[in-house]
A and B are shown apart, each in its own frame.
Chain A
Amino acid sequence: MDATLSTPLLTVEDLSVHFMSGGAQITPVDGVSFSIEPGEALGIVGESGSGKSLTLRAILGLLPPGGQVEGTLRFSPTSETFSDAAPEDLQGRGVAMIFQEPMTALNPTMRVGDLIAEGVRRSEGFDRSAARRRAVELLRSAGVPNPEERARMWPHELSGGLRQRVMIATALSTRPALLLCDEPTTALDVTIQDQILGLLSQLRRDLGMAIVFVTHDLAVIAEICDRIAVMYAGRIVEVGDADDVLSVPRHPYTAALIGSAPSFHSRSERLAGIGGMPPDPRAFPRGCRFAPRCRYARDDCRDAPHRLISLGGRETACIHPEVLEGSPR
């Protein structure tokens, strides 16, 4: 990562998410920090329950009822900076999000063109017909064939892949500088996955848009992300350049992830098991949260405070990264 003097597009500092569950407070996202440069693609990878989805939602203030956010957000789409942005402020103002399940993510009682037009009018103040025309354009740039016709259709009349494209067009309607992607390809079959990933890469190039891509699929991350952050049990455990991290992991969890998907270049859908289960957020272990499942764990791991240590161009939370030396993937 080259040292840059430009302001990061988005800085997340110490983000935590709290819920009350059965009388006790749980913290599924615990002190997460990262930043994204304009036009960059950051991947966040981890198992189910690692808190990666919640992290994205917290940025936009889209948590389910009962969820509370703590932390600092700094967003600078132009040269000014919104310091200490409250998450809801970012809605529709330069940060957009696409979701995993396109069937349920589109308003069933709205024609898709109208839905996109809503976003357009919100951010650009066009009148109805100008907004509709722009919506058609957006559909076209999302690769939807016959966009004028499709704009008049209802969500339930479209196929899964088309719906995902519609969702992307909807996200683009607010002219985002940053696109948050919450497992958008997980529910699609492999060929459509390819197309959507290709579309996202192309949009990044054409619009200079940054993306944060959350998934559990390493292969997808490898394909489109510049940097990668690995999350485990609510914390980031390793962060760095995607190629670097995936070839020379410096955290046992990352190594285990890679190891359990040895042919990830061919897009295995699920990670083969790592043995054991991620910890229940109601009872996170002390110290390093991966230690119970880590085969290199030592005694001092259970008392280690969580800190990201700089190590040759990337950061890792492991206090004994040397155990991985000599065993690149």
Chain B
Amino acid sequence: MSLADDLTREYAPSEPQHQLMVERRRLPRRVWVGAAIVFVYILVAVFAPLLAPYDPLALDPLHALEDPSWAHPIGTDELGRDVLSRLIFAARVDLLVGFLGALLPAIVGTALGAIGAYRGGWRDALTMRTADVVQAFPTYILIIALVFALGQGLTSILVAFTIIAWVAYARLIRSEILRLRGLDYVEAARAAGLPTRRILWLHVFPNAVGQTLVYLPSDIVIATLGLAALSFLGLGVRPPTPEWGAMIAAGQPFIRDQWWLSTVPGVVVVGFGLGLSLIGEGIEEWTRR
């Protein structure tokens, strides 16, 4: 702690130390900005069929690689499909994999980590050793290998993400539980004879989950970018499914004359990522104070 902290602490009226329960303070503004952005993306994904002017899979080779116009605001791709419509429908794929690709590992990892941390013993050791081996692997290389083994497609990708990403959540929840377990109020609950599971659920969990919530938004970004990268490499979604990363790849050969084909999907990805990052940073600020 710096001198400044000590000094301002000395001079500030003493505030009760809310170490455990998260106070009901106002969420920082950036959370709302981020949430608004993400909400727009979700709306686009959900209402894609209504919003997209064309069928994203409709081929029209006679009108391939057209410049942006009123009919096609972002032009057409190399097979004559409307880029805007593909962009809109791609939101479904990217958001789905993005959210699930973070949520599934979160559930699995938190469950494994919590059981290991609270019960200890061989459960904990096994979980942690497995985590070490998985972590020793370069994440995406393992994903590539797994997707290769399981066959291309979204299911394989989600399975692969889950197998890799649970580790972070397990470690997060584990360190939080271990930290909280020693605190007085848990001791009190135990002394009062509450069964383990109740203690875990009612007391320890709600507080431990805080860190996980901070991490989730950035993990969603990672999952989305992961899918985009895999698709860019040709190892992600199967064509002709529209996906932002795949669209960037498809546009690369035409970068000289139809530069928007690769550029625009990237901007869309960055927008989504920014919205989520704002939420993540905001939550972190909120839980830190």
| A→B interface (CB under 8 Å) | 19, 21, 26, 28, 48-49, 54, 57, 64-66, 280-282
Contacts and interface: CB of A to CB of B under 8 A. Distances in A.
A65 B4 contact: yes
Contacts of A57: 3
Interface stretch (B5-13, B47-55, B208-216, B273-281): B5-13
Contacts of B8: 19, 21
Contact of B11 (A64, A65, A66, A280): A280
B2 interface: yes
Contacts, number: 23
B13 A64 contact: no
A66 B10 contact: no
23 contacts: A19-B7, A19-B8, A21-B8, A21-B11, A21-B12, A26-B11, A28-B7, A28-B11, A48-B10, A49-B10, A49-B11, A54-B7, A57-B3, A64-B2, A64-B3, A64-B4, A64-B7, A65-B4, A66-B4, A280-B11, A280-B13, A281-B11, A282-B11
A173 B10 CA distance: 32
Nearest to A67: B4
Interface of B: 2-4, 7-8, 10-13
Contacts of B10: 48-49
A295 B4 CA distance: 34
Nearest to B8: A21
A49 B11 CA distance: 7
B7 to A, nearest CB: 7
A48 B14 CA distance: 14
Contacts of A26: 11
Contacts of B4: 64-66
A234 B4 CA distance: 17
A193 B10 CA distance: 25
A189 B272 CA distance: 58
Contacts of A54: 7
A26 B2 CA distance: 19
A280 B8 CA distance: 11
A239 to B, nearest CB: 24
A109 B115 CA distance: 39
Contacts of A28: 7, 11
B11 to A, nearest CB: 5
A65 B4 CA distance: 7
A132 B10 CA distance: 40
Given A49-B11, A280-B13, 10 more contacts: A19-B8, A21-B11, A26-B11, A28-B11, A49-B10, A57-B3, A64-B4, A64-B7, A65-B4, A282-B11
Contacts of B2: 64
Contacts of B12: 21
Nearest to B10: A49
Nearest to A48: B10
Contacts of B11: 21, 26, 28, 49, 280-282
Nearest to B4: A64
Nearest to B2: A64
A280 B3 CA distance: 18
A184 to B, nearest CB: 16
Contacts of B7: 19, 28, 54, 64
A280 B4 CA distance: 16
A56 to B, nearest CB: 12
A14 B174 CA distance: 55
A285 to B, nearest CB: 15
Nearest to B3: A64
A220 B106 CA distance: 57
A65 B10 CA distance: 16
Contacts of A19: 7-8
A280 B13 CA distance: 8
